[in-house]
Amino acid sequence: MSQEAVELVLGRLLTDARFRRAATDSFEVVCLREGYGLTKTELRLISSLELPCFTELAGRLDPGLCRACSS
């Protein structure tokens, strides 16, 4: 299990709205495209999380902590 990859993906889900939207469409595809070395078990466990909760929590973060996004 790659704890670093798990932490990077979870952080990205919180701070990057574009990544979060893409993950909603196909979590495995976006992780592969972005080069995250997650195991099948990690992919399954993270994709089973409720992504709307990430959106809600992301809305509470200071914008200075989030990735700049043009859309």
Determine the pLDDT at residue 71.
47
Determine the pLDDT at residue 69.
62
pLDDT one-digit tens code per residue, 5-39: 999 999 999 999 999 999 999 999 999 999 998 99
70: pLDDT confidence band, cut at 50, 70 and 90?
very low
Helices 3-15 & 51-58 angle (0-180, nearest 10) = 60
| DSSP per residue, the chain | --HHHHHHHHHHHHH-HHHHHHHHHHHHHHHHHTT----HHHHHHHHTS-HHHHHHHHTTS-GGGSPP---
